[in-house]
Structure 1
Amino acid sequence: MEHDKDCKTDHQSENESRLGSDDDDNEEDHNPHQREILNAAMQAGHILLENGAEIFRVEETMDRICRYYGIESGNSFVLSNGIFTTSGNEREEIFAKVQHIPVSGTHLDRVAAVNQLSREIEAGLVSLKEVRLRLDEIKIMPGKSKSMQIFASGVGSACFCYLFGGNIRDSVCAFVVGVLLYLYVLFISAPKLSKIVGNIGGGALVTFICTSLYLLRMGEHLNYMIIGSIMPLIPGVPFTNAIRDIADEDYISGSVRMMDALLVFFSIAMGVGLVFGVFHRLTGGALL
């Protein structure tokens, strides 16, 4: 009897040991899967924030991905140039990651692509592996060609000039100036100059060319020509996002974006003022 009891005890201990080993294996299998989910959410947030999305959109998308794939303790804190992600409780592995994201331009095609992907995730149409592949594709999604950007700048300048009150001749001049402006932006300002210097130069270039065309009698309303031609430099999306962030009580991020937009406005105004000052001296005030 004692021998049978000892055998039964040994057999029970062996089963408990095997069960404990199985639990450890499941936990080890679960941890890499959890990290993969959190890294995917982090990558999605990085793409959104880097390409001009609002703070609430970034946080909402990251939370949506974590929640759908079973991460209950995920928590993200998003600023205008950084993302902090943490998770972990008694049932989930502790995870923490920080990414710095410099304030850059706007690429709304990538933002729309990530939004569409998040909807497909919630609908259960995409596996986690496919999510990482899709995010890698979105990250390298090409923007508009340089020729298209230059042409769009010219058309936009002409349309704004006409919208603000210019006539056909003013709009034609604004189209030419808009094309020249974006040639400067793409080949000189963006690759070689800082944001402040580049925008001062852009404002000065627009004012100089518009004033020259006006003095040559090719345009009739100098103010409409300058206003229309300078619109491609205006940071409309960052300024709008700054207001939305402040309205959503993301005061730090909204203030940073607002300051960045106001700095661009100030730099453009400085370039315009410098050229007007030079022409004012040269013409003895006749121009203004």
Structure 2
Amino acid sequence: MNEDRMVLDVALEAGCILLKNGAEIFRVEETVYRICHYYGIKSCSVFTLTNGIFLTAGSTTDPYFAKVKHLPVGGSHLGRVAAVNQLSREIEQGKYTIEEVEQQLKEIQNIPEKSNIAKIMASGIGCGAFCFLFNGNYLDALTAAIAGILYYVFTIYINRNRMSKITGNLCGGILLTIVCLISYHFQIGQHMDAMIAGSIMPLVPGVPFTNSIRDFADGDYISGAVRMLDAVLVFFSIAMGIGFVFLMYHHLLGGNIL
């Protein structure tokens, strides 16, 4: 019985790591099923939402036991998702005991994030590159890159002070737009639309939006709706931040932007 409960705990932990780090609902449930079945839990039922996993299972020694885990909607770390996927394949190949799987999951959970410097530089380079894709010139791309760098510095501040997601995205949209407006006002950047479109790329919730579509396609309508709502709120917050700065610029300075 103790071993069965350990299997349940390990399977649930694997599912939690996947869900917290941006995996789709079907991937979470499939991984939990595979671990339980391989280690002898024949009767297993998993119900997964965007912010929680409900797992019930039974065996010949302990017919009914259950686990529930609540997880707040967070970010993504696809390296951890890939590591759990690889671990689940190796489990089915018979490479690990349940104790070894538990240790492997602890190591996966401790996979570090990228350094702040790497994130800041990636944000700047990404913003500049996307500005080029939206027909911006070199100075537009430079402006977008600076805006992206400043935004990610601001993001680090948000994470340390636990600002709400909506407020953070609203303020991020305001910050990016102010940087682009300063460049445009002093005729450094020439294409306001390209600068704005490029600089907001770090804010765009690509993983939640894509996963919501996948969840809808798999029939997980509740999880899909939650993730879609999360993405829509981010889009709305960004738009509100940009619109607020444009409105203030027009009323205070009388400038025509686009």
Distance 1:89 1:155 in 2: 53
The residue type equivalent to 1:63 in the other structure is Y
Of 165, 168, 176, 1:195 maps to 165
Counting only pairs closer than 5 Å after superposition, residues 254-265 of structure 1 correspond to structure 2 as 254-265=224-235
Counterpart contact for 1:54–1:245, Cα < 8 Å: yes
The correspondence for 1:79, drawn from 49, 59, 64, is 49
C-alpha distance in 1 between matches for 2:252 and 2:120: 32
AA aligned to 1:158 is G
Post-superposition shift, 1:169? Answer: 1.3
Task: Report the Cα distance in structure 1 between the residues aligned to 2:59 and 2:100, rounded to whole angstroms.
Answer: 27
Indicate which of 203, 209, 218 corresponds to 1:248: 218
Secondary structure of the equivalent of 1:74?
Answer: strand
Q: Deviations over 1:226-246 (max 9, x none)?
A: 110010011000000001001
Change over 3 Å in CA distance of 1:285–1:170 after alignment to 2:
closer
RMSD: 1.2
Match of 1:64 in 2: 34
Q: Deviations over 1:108-164 (max 9, x none)?
A: 111111001001101111111110001011112111000000000000000100011
Residue 38 of structure 1 corresponds to which residue in structure 2?
Answer: 8
2:201 corresponds in structure 1 to 231
Q: 1:52 aligns to what?
A: 22
Q: State the structure with bigger RCO (CA 8 A, min sep 6), 1 or 2.
A: 2
Are 1:178 and 2:154 counterparts?
no
Aligned residues: percent identity?
56
Distance 1:84 1:109 in 2: 24
* One-letter amino acid matched to 2:25: I
The number of residue pairs the alignment matches comes to 258
Distance 1:36 1:90, change over 3 A: closer
Structure 1 distance, partners of 2:92, 2:59, is 24
- Aligned position for 1:117: 87
Q: 1:190 to 1:105 in 2, by over 3 A?
A: farther
- 1:106 paired with 2:64, answer no
* Bigger mean CA offset, 163-172 vs 187-196: 187-196
Aligned to 1:222, which of 192, 195, 209?
192
Identify the residue that residue 244 of structure 2 maps to in structure 1: 274
CA contact (8 A) 1:174 1:229 kept: yes
DSSP 3-state at the match of 1:144: coil
Given that 1:190 and 1:198 are in contact with CA atoms closer than 8 Å, whether structure 2 keeps it comes out as: no
Task: Give TM-score, length-normalised by structure 2.
Answer: 0.97
Q: Per-residue deviation at 1:90? A: 5.3
Can you give the 5+ residue segments of structure 1 that lack an aligned partner in the other structure? 1-30
Aligned partners of 2:161 and 2:21: how far apart in 1? 18
Unaligned runs of 5+ in 2: none
| CA positional deviation for 1:94 | 1.7
Assess if the C-alpha contact under 8 Å between 1:189 and 1:198 holds in 2. Answer: no
Q: CA deviation at 1:282?
A: 2.2
Give 2:105's aligned amino acid: L
